[in-house]
Amino acid sequence: MSVFTLPSGDALARWLEDGYAIGQLTRFECIAGGVQNSNFFVTTTLGRYVLTLFEDIARADLPYYLHLMAHLARHGLPAPAPVANRDNEYLGTLADRPAALALRLRGVSEAHPSAAHCARIGGMLAGLHLAGRSYGRRQANPRGAHWRTRAAALLRPHLPADEAALLDAELRFQADAADPARLPAGAIHGDLFRDNVLWSGDSISGVIDFYFAGHDALLFDAAVTVNDWCGTPDGGFDPVRAGALLIAYHAARPFTEAERAAWPAMLRAAALRFWLSRAIDQYLPRAGELVMQKNPGEYREILLQRMRAIPPLPVSGTR
């Protein structure tokens, strides 16, 4: 989360008073971190919320994310339920930007997860995928295969020769890999990193930042999650944490044989996605008040490591 657009306190107070039934504004503060939208903690006389101003997502695409959050919250997942305004709409306009409020979830992120944390994440992710089966809207993963091809074309002229060669080789590999359209698919989070999960003690109290969600292979979501939650400082993976996460996922939604065959390529595709997005932020940055850039080299190294070693998927009957 970042800040590109900063509304005045007076403008925010009027917007809340005119459009919502959540009391009067008492405090708001910027949330720094991430790279996509402008985000704020908002406190009123009736509660605590998160305000998001959408910077580069098309307005027509936003209902998918907001209604997905509402859908998951109704199914008992710890997603931030969006708040409807007096017109019963989740989406409004503030500071000339599409804007939405969601309930602020309590808890803190866990930077150094244990195997027990990873097991809970695996079970929760499977639950998210199962609940997503009944979500009626469908919208492609905004960072899916087509985006990766376009992003690579934008980035290639800016890369050192060795990195450009690695990028081209990986794109060729992915083009020859199994078609992900043949894998179980549905609504995915797409960005389930450690800083997008909140904990209260040993329990998951919140899953946030659904604005990279979309319809894609469920296995891609699992790969994104394993790469972050189960990684080691050198880009490898911790087999204990990876095993805990994948076994817990498999217990709720068993992996198919097709997914098992596609797993090595999917882990590499997930690493490629974040190498590309971080490198674009580095070489082609956007202006903003508080914009956090993350190191693309981290995910370039993860990609290289996934070419060498892969955490195995559980087999049928493993619990």
pLDDT in tens, the chain (319 residues): 456 888 999 999 999 999 999 999 999 999 976 558 999 999 999 999 999 999 989 999 999 999 999 999 999 999 999 999 999 999 999 999 999 999 999 999 999 999 999 999 999 999 999 999 999 999 999 999 999 999 999 999 999 999 999 999 999 999 999 788 899 999 999 999 999 999 999 999 999 999 999 999 999 999 999 999 999 999 999 999 999 999 999 999 999 999 999 999 999 999 999 999 999 999 998 765 445 678 999 999 999 999 999 999 998 754 4
Read off the pTM: 0.94
- pLDDT of the residue at 179: 84
Q: For residue 238, what are the CA distances in angstroms to 49, 91, 254, 296?
A: 36, 41, 21, 21
3-state secondary structure of 49: strand
Q: For residue 246, what are the CA distances in angstroms to 19, 100, 226?
A: 44, 34, 8
Tell me yes or no: is domain 115-308 CATH 3.90.1200.10.
yes
How far apart are the C-alpha atoms of 218 and 148, rounded to whole Å? 17
- pLDDT of the residue at 292: 64
- pLDDT of the residue at 291: 55
- pLDDT of the residue at 287: 65
Beta bridge partners of 70: none
Contacts of 242 (CB under 8 A, 6+ apart): 118, 226, 230, 311
In the chain, CATH 3.30.200.20 covers: 9-103
In the chain, CATH 3.90.1200.10 covers: 115-308
The architecture CATH gives domain 9-103: 2-Layer Sandwich (3.30)
How far apart are the C-alpha atoms of 11 and 293, rounded to whole Å? 29
